[in-house]
Structure 1
Amino acid sequence: MKPTMPSATVSVPRKAVLYLRVSSKRQTETAFDIDKDGNSIATQRDICQQKADSLEAEVVQEFVEPGVSAQTIEKRPVFRSMLAYLQENPDVDYVIVYARSRAFRYFVDAAITRRHLDKLDVRLLSAREDFGEGTYAEAMEAVTDIMNQVQNQLSGEDIKIEMRNKAINGGTLGKARLGYLNVRIDVEGRMVNSIALDEKRASLVLKAWELYASGSYTIDRLEATMADLGLTTRQTARKPESPVSASQLHRLLQDPYYVGHVKYQGQLYPGRHEPIVGQDLFDRVQDVMRSRSGAGSRDRVHHHYLKGMLFCGRCHDAGRESRMVYVEAKGRSGSIHEYYFCRGKQDGFCDQRYLPVDIVEDKVAEAYAQLRLDQDFESDISQKLRESLENEHADTRDFFARLQNQLAEVDDKERRLVTLAAEGVLPIDKVRQLSNEYRMQRARIEEQLSTTNDRLELGTKVITQALAQLGSPRQSYERTTDRVRRLMNEAFFRRFYVDEHGPAHGVLNDPYADIMAAQTAFRSSVVTEMASGPTSTPSSRQTPISDVQTRPGRTDADMRNAPDLSGAPLSVSLGSIYLDHGSSKATLVGMTGFEPATSSSRTTRATKLRHIP
């Protein structure tokens, strides 16, 4: 038993924990704008808090089990966490639940929990069911638990009967399929749930069926095509719209729901919803699937480490964007041949031939050769990064001191406000208003203090690490595994444009695009300085990056095959160091893409540099 105080005049404060639970995710989303846990949890919390207040007990912890439909307590992680908490905190007196049916669906669970809580000297109370105390109260609790289990089982049987009856009458079970929407319609003055076509997606779903029925599309190719056409999943509270995956398309193309049927426990019933496809189209799609399920022609998803990153260079030059598709073809001898081909070839607007995989792999490897860094550039940019960091540290110390002064002023204001409030000089509403304003000022200043020292160091670290990775990228790429090559491609490049002539044309990710643009600008400054001689003026080095085409030892072919730097948001930030004799600090610090601009003057300089012709 818990110890009691010997003095009758001193009462021991009692402590309680709350256990709140709902059985479905949907219940956590009702009135979400009012309470983040949903209306049901919020209601339980209020009622349980009232119960704790009536017992003069302090609520020391709250356990929320959101959207767990498991019937046994073994399958409820939060409930198990609560029992562990009680074991570690023996001063808790009560566990308060909204109703016993919220805590237990089986009377055996209730009995086991009761025995466990008795050993801890903790009592479980229901906020909605007051059974009192004593033997009869315990008997009533046990009877209630038994009846809750019976009610739960009967409800499950009722739900099964209702779902079967709904299917027999053509109703849709659960959420609407892709291409349809759950809607509310007026039927004879009463609002009822129904299913309607999704105007945004229904036509695209039909297009997917038609393309696959043609026999010219694998699931893999259909996935890429429908993504290009704009077919996406519906947005939910937790997931944004996204392209429909190959596995989702595979299930969609076998679902009889789209031809007007509802399936329940293996039995088909005529649905009340409007079909998207006809029976003939449905049958043709199933025939294509069956024909590809045989040996040697399975409609499966093939894997290759370059998949998803290759686009047709020929179509790109013609102003189109078309993916390269990976295929495995079986020869007459039974050997497998791997190719990449432009999706536009089957659509009739591209004449690029099928490219063997080994040729494509070599072309991508050649693109890595364009990432080499000149030793003089690498040394120069590393020095400028160090100088910029040193200059920034000096500014940071001044800025830090100003922030500390501002924080001291806020402290002084808060002390004066406390004095005025205690003397009753200011109305309570005015005190609250000023207190909130000072609290917000303090939060803003403290946030700036915590980030001031880290901004430039973080940006410098990113660039320095990127420089190190560009030491010998092609050798690293050629000597590693396919899995690591995949990771390298995703790190360095956004995509590759592949043509049968020449190496792949790579579009770089940041910060590599920024570094290569800086190297191009560095070469420009060297060439300009050599041409101008020692009498050159600062303005003579204002050579636009776009005007620099060649340098000694670099051919026209090299320039054409260099990685694409277009669209790189930082392409001028590092490069502008070599277009201007001014401070490198303004360039490195002022760009918002590298670190947040800290003054209007820096922002202005950075913005101006972005528009160099």
Structure 2
Amino acid sequence: MQKFKEAAQEPKKAVIYCRVSGKKQTKDGSGLSSQEYRCRQYADAKGYSVEEVFPDDVSGGGDFMKRKGMVALLRYLDDHPNEQFVVIFDDLKRYARDVEFHLKLRRLMHERGAIRECLNFNFEDTPEGKLNETVTAAAGAYERESMARQNRQKSIARLEQGFWVFRAPVGYKYVKSRQGGKELVPDEPLASVVRNALEGFASGLFASQTEVQRYLENDPYFPKDMPGGRLRPQTVPRLLRKPIYAGYVYSEEWGISVREGNHEGLISKRTHQRIIDKLDRGVYAPARKDINDDFPLRGAVSCSCCNTLLTAGWSRGCRQPYAYYRCRNRSCDLYGKGIRREVMEADFQKLLAAIQPSRELTAMASAMFHHCWDQFEAQAKEMKVAIQKKMVGLEKEIERIVDRAVDASNPRVISAYENKIEMLEKEKLVMAEKLKNSGKARYSRGDLFELSMRFLTNPRKIWDSGRSDLQKIVLRLVFLGPFKYSKERGFLNYETTLPFKALGGLMCSEYPVMKNGAAGEI
């Protein structure tokens, strides 16, 4: 017994525990290495032999069993039950900053026969020493909780001023603000990638979240969160719904409703609302591994017999593979009967070439465009007045609901009023953005006229570029929905969009036009 006491008084083996509050301090600072260096100096001065070092990079608050380094240290002590160790750490705050877990950890160390030694605190196995240790641990817990409260209060105040305080979303970065602190600014070229994805989904360029996902996965700048350059299924829905991309700030956890931010939005508030409306309607298509750019007409052409959308794929031949479009309906007479890709796509090219209008119709389209532009400018002035009246009405409605909320006592009624006020405030911000941009065209008349006429006069040229994104635009802007294809008779029952109907329809006798602008079966 006396021999054990002497060994306890003069232990020879030691382990070091060091901790910083986060992974960022591990990467950017030298906290762990400096703590280890000081502890090793202490061990050398005491004549201890350092056996192991256990680092951690998590916050000091909470359960120490969630720290990998501390768990490994306790396991190490359990694996050496016949040896006694000194556990050295730089500061008592690195040990535990919660009174409950501090006392529990002290007990676990004692049960394993470990002796705790700290560079900035002297442990004493006396009632006074234990009291001093408990008071010091309580002071550390108070300091941690007080700092957390102050940081939260400052962050809430910052959010209420319109500044984002959390990690910068994809497409943004932090820079120093003239008003103090940091603010978000677009991070190019990543900001343009996110903007194109959001606006593309809102406008219909990307018909589903799946197409947005493929666009982002194919972009070299967008960060991927899965091996193989893939994105997690929840990444795109979260990105599409984030109000911050429309210039808003918010925090559901801290009760900060959506409000105008001080940063530049990547998209307009109106575009964001269109995205939310589209998502709420249930526009979602799961990712498919068999979709590729080899079959641009897939999803746009249906079977002439059963009207089922044709699928497509490659068939292995004797010398080379061959591409076919096929009907996938097992009950159809044409099930499994392939249509060679080059035949169907050649017919489609003829169809696009037939859409090209004459010079007379092109001149007519030019006059129509300028007439519509003049009407747009006149309507913009009327719209501005209407928006101003709408904003006045919203303001009165908000004041009315606020008065009702003040008089209400039922928590559910108060919560309903708060939700209604938040919705109206958001609508008012959208109206303010419309008022600001009323009458302002994103592009000049000349630029829009050139782009529009280039597309209307020769959509086949755009199709022949071979770019899958442009080919999808042609399909959506020229035709209304899927159209049938017969191996013997070609394309049937297709209908063009309004601009091409206005230009007089198709100009080739191979694909005649009906009075309503839709082609009939031959």
Matching of residue 212 in structure 1 with residue 53 in structure 2: no
Q: What is aligned with 2:285? A: 300
- Structure 1 Cα separation of the partners of residues 60 and 84 of structure 2: 27
Q: What is aligned with 1:390? A: none
CA separation of 1:311/1:96 partners in 2, compared to 1, >3 Å: closer, same or farther?
same
User: Which residue type is aligned with residue 182 of structure 1?
Assistant: Y
- Structure 1 Cα separation of the partners of residues 163 and 228 of structure 2: 26
Matching of residue 138 in structure 1 with residue 125 in structure 2: no
The answer (yes or no) to whether the contact 1:178–1:201 under 8 Å persists in 2 is: yes
Residue deviations 1:452-478 (CA, integer Å, cap 9, x gap): xxxxxxxxxxxxxxxxxxxxxxxxxxx
Matching of residue 17 in structure 1 with residue 9 in structure 2: no
Q: What is aligned with 1:179? A: 171
5+ long unaligned stretches in structure 1:
32-38, 314-321, 340-354, 372-497, 503-613
Residue deviations 1:260-279 (CA, integer Å, cap 9, x gap): 11111251232111111112
Question: Which structure is richer in relative contact order (CA contacts within 8 A, separation 6 or more)?
Answer: 2
Deviation at 1:160, TM superposition (A): 2.1
User: Which residue type is aligned with residue 197 of structure 2?
Assistant: A
Matching of residue 107 in structure 1 with residue 91 in structure 2: no
Q: What is aligned with 2:190? A: 201
User: Which residue type is aligned with residue 253 of structure 1?
Assistant: L
Matching of residue 60 in structure 1 with residue 42 in structure 2: no
Deviation at 1:28, TM superposition (A): 0.9
User: Which residue type is aligned with residue 17 of structure 1?
Assistant: V
User: Which residue type is aligned with residue 250 of structure 1?
Assistant: P
Matching of residue 96 in structure 1 with residue 88 in structure 2: yes
Q: What is aligned with 1:495? A: none
The answer (yes or no) to whether the contact 2:60–2:97 under 8 Å persists in 1 is: no
Matching of residue 232 in structure 1 with residue 230 in structure 2: no
- Structure 1 Cα separation of the partners of residues 2 and 301 of structure 2: 74
Matching of residue 45 in structure 1 with residue 36 in structure 2: yes
User: Which residue type is aligned with residue 184 of structure 2?
Assistant: I
Secondary structure, aligned partner of 1:199: coil
Q: What is aligned with 1:151? A: 143
Q: For residues 570-581 of structure 1, what are the structure 2 equivalents within 5 Å?
A: none
- Structure 2 Cα separation of the partners of residues 220 and 149 of structure 1: 48
Give the paired residue count. Answer: 318
Percent identity, please: 20
The answer (yes or no) to whether the contact 2:43–2:50 under 8 Å persists in 1 is: yes
* TM-score normalised per structure 1: 0.46
Which of 242, 252, 265 is residue 255 of structure 1 equivalent to?
Answer: 242
- Structure 1 Cα separation of the partners of residues 231 and 200 of structure 2: 15
Secondary structure, aligned partner of 1:62: strand
Deviation at 1:62, TM superposition (A): 0.8
Deviation at 1:77, TM superposition (A): 3.0
Matching of residue 116 in structure 1 with residue 108 in structure 2: yes
CA separation of 1:58/1:3 partners in 2, compared to 1, >3 Å: closer, same or farther?
same
CA separation of 1:177/1:69 partners in 2, compared to 1, >3 Å: closer, same or farther?
farther
RMSD: 3.8
Secondary structure, aligned partner of 1:61: strand
The answer (yes or no) to whether the contact 1:182–1:193 under 8 Å persists in 2 is: yes
Secondary structure, aligned partner of 2:238: helix
- Structure 2 Cα separation of the partners of residues 197 and 119 of structure 1: 55
Matching of residue 72 in structure 1 with residue 57 in structure 2: no
- Structure 2 Cα separation of the partners of residues 6 and 246 of structure 1: 62
Deviation at 1:218, TM superposition (A): 0.6
The answer (yes or no) to whether the contact 1:17–1:95 under 8 Å persists in 2 is: yes
Secondary structure, aligned partner of 1:224: helix
Secondary structure, aligned partner of 1:312: coil
Q: What is aligned with 1:583? A: none
Q: For residues 452-531 of structure 1, what are the structure 2 equivalents within 5 Å?
A: 500=341
Q: For residues 274-293 of structure 1, what are the structure 2 equivalents within 5 Å?
A: 274-291=264-281, 293=282
User: Which residue type is aligned with residue 500 of structure 1?
Assistant: R
Deviation at 1:68, TM superposition (A): 5.4
- Structure 2 Cα separation of the partners of residues 98 and 77 of structure 1: 18
User: Which residue type is aligned with residue 257 of structure 1?
Assistant: I
Q: What is aligned with 2:258? A: 268
The answer (yes or no) to whether the contact 2:16–2:50 under 8 Å persists in 1 is: yes
